[in-house]
Chain A
Amino acid sequence: MSAAKVKMRQKKLRNQPASVQCLSSSVHDESSPHPNAGVFARARAAEVSAMLRAVTKTTGSCHVFGALPRHMRRRAMSHNTKRLPCRLREMANRMREKCLQGGVKKKEQAKNKSRKARRRHGNMLLEFNRRQRKNVWLETHIWHAKRFHMVKKWGYCLGDRPTLKCYRPSYRAMSTHCLLQDLSYYCCLELQGEEDKLLDCLSQSMYCFSHSTGPTFAQRLCLSGQRQGSLVLYRAGQFPSQPLGSVTFLWRPRTPGSVHRHLWTWVHPTLKQDVLTEFQSVCQCQSVVPPHVPLVMDAKVVSTTDLEPKPERKHTPGTKRKQSEKDAGGPLAKKILGDGTRSPETPVTWKSSSTGILINDLTMEIVRYRLIGPQSHSVLTEALEAATDCDVRAPSCLWWPNHCKEESKMKLHQQQTDLFHTLKGVYSTAELPPGIVLGLTVDDPRLSIPPKRVKALSCVKEVGDEKRKELSLRGVPEHCCESFLWEQSVRNNVTENKISEQDLNRMRSEVLVPGSRLSPVPLQGRVPILLVHQPGKQVGHEMNSWGAGWDLLLPKGWGMAFWIPLVYRDVRIGGLKMSLTHSQNKGVPHFPHDYPDCPAGARFQGEQESELLEKFKRRPPAKRTNYIKHGCLAPFSCPWQQLAEEWDVIGSEGGIQAQSTSLGDIAMRAERTSHHQVPGTKQQTHFTVLRYLVFFMTICYVMFTLVPVALLNFIPIILFPRTRKSLRLLSSWCGPTSSQGQRSYCVREMPPLDHTAKKSFLASHGMSLVWVRLSLLLKGKPDLHAMVSVPTADDLKLLSRGGPGSSAPQEPPHRDHLKSTLKRGKKGTKKVASDTPSTSGQITTTSNDPQLSCPASDVVLGVWPNPLPSVTSHCSRVTLGWVTQADFSLSAGCGEALGFVSVTGLVHTLISQPLEHRGTVLLRNPMSLQYRFAKINIEV
Chain B
Amino acid sequence: MGCGVLSVTVLFSNPAIRAALLIQRWYRQYVARLEMRRRCTWNIFQSIEYAGEQDQIKLYNFFDFLMHHFTPASSESKTRRLPTHWERYFCYESIEVPDSYTGPRLTFPMTFCGVSKVVQAFKHKQQLHARYVLQLLRETWRLLRILTNISHVSTCHTKEITICGDLHGHLEDLLLIFYKNGLPSSEKPYVFNGDFVDRGKNSLEILLILFGFLLVYPNDVHLNRGNHEDHIVNLRYGFTKEVLGKYRVHGKKILNLLQKIFSWLPLATVIDHKVLIVHGGISATTDLNAIARVDRHKYVSALRPPKPTHYAADGCKTQAMGSNHREASGPAEGRRRKKKDLSGCIFGRCEIWSMLMQYVYYIIYTSPLSSVLTMTDSSTQIVDVLWSDPMPQNGCIPNEVRGGGCYWGPDVTEEVLGRHNLQLLIRSHECKQDGYEFCHNRRVLTIFSASNYYEMGSNRGAYIRMGPDLVPHFIQYQASQACRELTLRQSVGWTERSALRALREQLFVHKSDLISAFQEFDPNNTGKISLSHWASATESVLKLGLPWRVLRPQLVSSTQYGMVDYQMWIRELSITEPKLQISDTSILETMYKNHSNLETIFRVIDTDHSGSISFEEFRQTWRLLCSHLKTEISDEAIADLAHSIDFNKDGSIDINEFMEAFRLVDLSAHA
Asked if A and B are interacting partners, one says no
**Using a CB–CB distance below 8 Å, which chain B residues touch chain A?**
none
